[in-house]
Amino acid sequence: MEKIVLDNGLKLIYTNTKTDITSFTIAIDGGAIKEREDEIGLSHIVEHMVFKGTKSRSEIDINKECDKIFGFHNAMTNYPYVVYYGTSLSEDFERGLELYSDIILNPTFEEKYFKEEISVICEELKEWSDDVSQHCEDKVLYNGFSKRRIKDLIIGNESLIKKYTIEDVKKYYNKYYHINNMVISVVSSISFEEVIKIVKNYFKNGYIKEKEKESIIYEKNINNIFYEYKEGINSSKIQYIFSIDELSDREITILRIFNSYFGEGTSSVLYDEIRTKRGLVYDIKGFLKNESGIKLYSISLGTSKENIELAMKLIDDNIKKTVNLKNIFTEEKIQSILKNCKLKRMLGLEKSITLSFNTAIYELMYGDCNLLFDEFEIENITENEILEVINKVLKNPTIQVITG
């Protein structure tokens, strides 16, 4: 893997492969956590609007060319970032990058397409609400915090987004869509020198701007249980969240090691105690969201209405038991978990598009894409250290229940 910062401040990451396909990701440090209270949803609207036409292409032209060039392509707005990514044959990489450079750097933001795209986003909002698992996560974030951006949906709410004008969209775009606020990651058999040449050619004239210093607001989650009754559903969803924004990088890795034992996979404590032994849930898992602006440890499960209270009691009982564990995390056990974590991480990066995506966002969020590969190269972890971390984390959860 190679990394270079071009003269205009654009970061380029390159990974060599031996296949005939090339994947690239363009990541922009302009996700939803950047939005002020009067900008909620604008990051996502911009992501939609850049595809509506450029100075040299109509939306129809863009759609036709994307279908010709890419086997896969997409764009996504998250709280910490916006990404545009795709995979093509290596012989079509330059055409694909030129197309996306045009989409990202030269949008026209025409008024006549704005209202129709707002209508599309309003339909997207309905789909989010219909997905019970997604709705449960949205509600636990909404109820769990009073100030943080993540309490509101990435895509905003209908009443707010309908108030925006095309000028609001342009203003937000101009604030974040500048060259030195981007990372491009390319996974390809094309030489690094050729990739640099192509990237320089199509990203040489972009907007350059001095970055504004911005701080991300974190706060402790609210310790309470929230219930919502939703018509038309037969199962129930439950999600716990715990704040982890005060943990160091080492402590985050230690929490991942613990979660591999406690909440990840069919041999984990939660799965064994609640699914295997008692059959109360179809699936249950613990997971970390360590992205900038999110920083949460979660436990998520689905169960029947009749088993909600018992399932939560068993989770709470297992947390109480686990924070006082002794002689479980031996050196041999820790090394075995680390090996398994490395394996899962590497398997997850096997696809070129996934590798491209993750190297770009790691560089964008943490300033070093190598953390993606080096996180589990950690030494001298002890059981006491693991217990100290989980005693910091596993207390005072926000719990959301969605049931029919």
Residues 188, 16 contacting (CB under 8 angstroms): yes
Average pLDDT over residues 203-212: 76
- The token pair at 403 is 């049931």
Task: Give residue-wise pLDDT tens across range 320-377.
Answer: 998 888 888 999 999 999 999 999 999 999 999 999 999 999 999 999 999 999 999 9
Average pLDDT over residues 53-73: 96
Average pLDDT, the chain: 93
The band of 207, judged by pLDDT with boundaries at 50, 70 and 90, is low
In 224-280, beta strands by DSSP E? 224-229, 236-243
pTM for the predicted model, two decimal places: 0.93
- The token pair at 191 is 């030489």
Q: Which among 289, 259, 283 has a CA at the least distance from the CA of 137?
A: 289
- What percentage of the chain has pLDDT greater than the value 90? 86
Determine how many CB atoms are found less than 10 A away from the CB of residue 335. Answer: 11
Residues 232, 252 contacting (CB under 8 angstroms): no
Lowest mean pLDDT across 2-16, 319-333, 343-357, 377-391: 319-333
Can you list the domains of the chain with their CATH numbers? Answer: 2-202 (3.30.830.10), 224-329+382-403 (3.30.830.10)
User: How do 2-5 and 11-16 pair as beta strands?
Assistant: antiparallel
